[in-house]
């Protein structure tokens, strides 16, 4: 699992804008005040608790950071503290709450009803949005009615067709989860809840990009996000097995990880299918974000942005970490009981964390023709040395180079359409007339 939901609203806004009203692009974030750019917090309401035990999950082991035997879920006092201080810390007229797991639905519905009541209490005229990520297996009609009535966006984790999904996404007792997830999606659809799919790309589904993409089209998914597994093994005294970026990764790659080559081929194949058939119909976050970067607009996904530091992770007990991908002791900013979000999110330490994405780029990236689109991708994945021996090269570099050079002519064309106030979705009819227009 990876953190992408919080960008979804922004991403959807962008793609809807470019597919419906070209050139009505969102204004760039003001740089007048350091406090004028919004920040986001991914709240782990259920801590790392989950009814599934997916083989590649990096959330489950986070419970080892905390004492055993505790409930490790957000209590009412922390919920109220979070809602109040998160709203108060924002300088924008709208506030986005992102609920994340573990499995979020392991908190009772009453918890989220209370969250909504608190949001109303402290909103002070601000517009409040919510999105929630779930594995989909615990959805009921009652949950769906709540999401619909409150206008929540629901992200469902699903990795593709049944055999692929069930290979890694199983219950603690080893039972497959696909059938339950699909029942959940069907329920969401029946109740008219806005939903999107989040897939993890692993060593299995990376080999069948067309099967992967067509599956999502077959279940009528119009908003697709996916994130690759890139994890290294590193034994820790507390029992955790995954490495932080600055650790050696002595145990090698987690076997479910993608290879850079497979990732590149996956992206190119998926892009070809999308660009020939579905631009403007199916919104693929990575492609939207790539086009945004081509336009010089903020991308909807943090991994392709030039800096980090705008999105923290809040653990169940109030601990705040620099990023959801950096929930390691050395990246703990503080605790909400002792410090405010403003103190932590605008601290020198967090600013340095965010800027490091740009300032630690190796020369190979600085001289790369695709830097404007890639920005060195996520710092979590920068654990290679360049051929020149410089540290900090992204493990997925080779795949991204392949992808950006492959999509460049298409992106150039769509960019021109946008600049001329025409919807880029016209690329589909162009390619239908001449499938080799960009060869």
Catalytic residues: 324
Supply the minimum distance, in Å, between the C-beta of residue 28 and ligand SF4. Answer: 19
Main-chain phi, psi angles of 315, to 5 degrees = -80, 165
Under rule CB under 6 A, residue 370 binds ligand SF4:
yes
Asked whether the bond before 64 is cis by omega within 30 degrees of 0, the reply is: no
> With respect to ligand SF4, which residue has the nearer C-beta, 102 or 399?
399
Supply the minimum distance, in Å, between the C-beta of residue 116 and ligand SF4. Answer: 27
The interface with ligand SF4 within residues 376-415 (CB under 6 A) comprises 376-380, 394, 397, 400-401
Under rule CB under 6 A, residue 277 binds ligand SF4:
no
Pairing mode, if any, of strands 94-100 and 127-134? Answer: parallel
Interface pattern 334-363 for ligand SF4 (x via CB under 6 A): -----------------------x------
Contact between 376 and 363 (Cβ < 8 Å): no
Binding residues for ligand SF4, total number by CB under 6 A: 23
Contact between 324 and 310 (Cβ < 8 Å): no
| Burial bucket for residue 156 (CB in 10 Å: 0-12, 13-18, 19+) | buried
Q: Using alpha carbons, select from 269, 279, 272, 230 the residue that is nearest to residue 252.
A: 230
Alpha helices in 316-369 (DSSP H): 341-345, 348-359, 363-366
> With respect to ligand SF4, which residue has the nearer C-beta, 86 or 178?
86
> With respect to ligand SF4, which residue has the nearer C-beta, 221 or 313?
313
Cβ neighbours of residue 421 closer than 8 Å, sequence gap 6 or more:
22, 23
User: How many whole angstroms separate alpha carbon 85 and alpha carbon 39?
Assistant: 13
Contact between 162 and 178 (Cβ < 8 Å): yes
Supply the minimum distance, in Å, between the C-beta of residue 305 and ligand SF4. Answer: 7
Main-chain phi, psi angles of 61, to 5 degrees = -75, -5
User: How many whole angstroms separate alpha carbon 323 and alpha carbon 314?
Assistant: 9
Among 49, 165, 169, 325, binds ligand SF4 (CB under 6 A): 325
Among 73, 106, 368, 414, binds ligand SF4 (CB under 6 A): 368
> With respect to ligand SF4, which residue has the nearer C-beta, 87 or 393?
393
> With respect to ligand SF4, which residue has the nearer C-beta, 181 or 286?
286
Supply the minimum distance, in Å, between the C-beta of residue 76 and ligand SF4. Answer: 29
Contact between 51 and 171 (Cβ < 8 Å): yes
> With respect to ligand SF4, which residue has the nearer C-beta, 173 or 367?
367
Among 365, 411, 414, 425, binds ligand SF4 (CB under 6 A): 365
Binding window for ligand SF4 (CB under 6 A); candidates: 126-134, 232-240, 300-308, 337-345: 300-308
> With respect to ligand SF4, which residue has the nearer C-beta, 223 or 395?
395
> With respect to ligand SF4, which residue has the nearer C-beta, 236 or 358?
358
- Angstrom distances, CA of residue 181 to CA of 191, 221, 222, 370: 15, 14, 17, 38
Among 267, 284, 311, 344, binds ligand SF4 (CB under 6 A): 311
Ranges of beta strands (E only) in 55-165 are 94-100, 127-134, 153-157
Supply the minimum distance, in Å, between the C-beta of residue 198 and ligand SF4. Answer: 14
Under rule CB under 6 A, residue 3 binds ligand SF4:
yes
Supply the minimum distance, in Å, between the C-beta of residue 254 and ligand SF4. Answer: 17
Supply the minimum distance, in Å, between the C-beta of residue 436 and ligand SF4. Answer: 26
Supply the minimum distance, in Å, between the C-beta of residue 282 and ligand SF4. Answer: 24
Instruction: Encode 299-323: b = buried (16+ Cβ within 10 Å), e = exposed.
Output: bbbbbbbbebbbbbbbbbbbbbbbb
Q: Using alpha carbons, select from 409, 171, 391 the residue that is nearest to residue 275.
A: 409
Under rule CB under 6 A, residue 40 binds ligand SF4:
no
- Give the tokens for residue 430: 């162009």
Helix axes 260-277, 285-294, angle to 10 degrees: 80
Binding window for ligand SF4 (CB under 6 A); candidates: 62-70, 219-227, 335-343, 366-374: 366-374
Chain-centre distance of CA 249, in angstroms? 23
Among 133, 303, 317, 350, binds ligand SF4 (CB under 6 A): 303
Under rule CB under 6 A, residue 225 binds ligand SF4:
no
Supply the minimum distance, in Å, between the C-beta of residue 81 and ligand SF4. Answer: 24
Among 44, 165, 364, 406, binds ligand SF4 (CB under 6 A): 364
What are the residues binding ligand SF4 (CB under 6 A)?
3, 302-303, 308, 311, 323, 325, 357, 364-365, 368, 370-371, 374, 376-380, 394, 397, 400-401
């Amino acid at each position: 699992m990876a953190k992408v939901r919080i960008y979804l609203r922004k991403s959807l806004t962008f793609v809807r804008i470019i597919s419906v009203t070209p050139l009505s692009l969102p204004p760039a974030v003001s740089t007048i005040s350091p406090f004028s750019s919004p920040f986001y917090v991914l709240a782990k309401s259920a801590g790392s608790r989950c009814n599934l035990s997916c083989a590649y999950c990096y959330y489950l082991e986070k419970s080892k950071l905390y004492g055993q035997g505790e409930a490790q879920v957000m209590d009412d006092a922390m919920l109220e503290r979070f809602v109040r201080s998160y709203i108060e810390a924002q300088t924008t007229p709208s506030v986005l709450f992102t609920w994340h797991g573990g499995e979020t639905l392991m908190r009772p519905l009453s918890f989220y009803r209370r969250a909504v009541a608190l949001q109303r209490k402290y909103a002070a005229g601000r517009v409040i949005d919510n999105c929630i990520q779930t594995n989909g297996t615990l959805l009921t009609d009652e949950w769906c009615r709540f999401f619909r009535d409150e206008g929540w966006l629901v992200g469902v984790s699903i990795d593709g067709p049944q055999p692929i999904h069930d290979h890694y996404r199983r219950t603690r007792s080893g039972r497959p989860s696909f059938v339950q997830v699909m029942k959940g999606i069907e329920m969401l659809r029946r109740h008219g809840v806005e939903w999107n799919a989040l897939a993890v790309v692993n060593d299995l589904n990376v080999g069948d990009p067309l099967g992967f993409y067509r599956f999502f089209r077959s279940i009528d998914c119009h908003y697709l996000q996916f994130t690759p597994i890139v994890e290294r093994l590193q034994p820790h005294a507390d029992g955790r097995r995954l490495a932080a970026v600055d650790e050696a990764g002595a145990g090698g790659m987690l076997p479910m990880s993608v290879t850079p080559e497979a990732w590149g081929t996956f992206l190119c194949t998926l892009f070809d299918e999308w660009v020939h058939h579905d631009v403007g119909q199916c919104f693929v976050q990575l492609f939207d974000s790539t086009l945004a970067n081509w336009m010089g607009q903020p991308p909807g996904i943090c991994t392709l942005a030039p800096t980090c530091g705008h999105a923290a992770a809040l653990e169940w007990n109030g601990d705040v970490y620099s990023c959801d991908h950096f929930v390691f002791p050395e990246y703990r900013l503080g605790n909400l009981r002792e410090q405010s979000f403003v103190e932590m999110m605008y601290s020198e330490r967090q600013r340095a964390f965010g800027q490091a994405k740009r300032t630690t780029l190796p020369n190979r990236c600085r001289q790369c023709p695709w830097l404007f689109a890639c920005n060195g991708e996520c710092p979590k994945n920068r654990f290679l040395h360049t051929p020149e021996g410089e540290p900090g090269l992204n493990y997925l570099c080779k795949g991204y180079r392949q992808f950006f050079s492959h999509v460049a002519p298409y992106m150039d064309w769509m960019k021109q359409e946008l600049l001329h106030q025409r919807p880029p979705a016209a690329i589909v009819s162009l390619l239908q007339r001449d499938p080799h227009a960009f060869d």
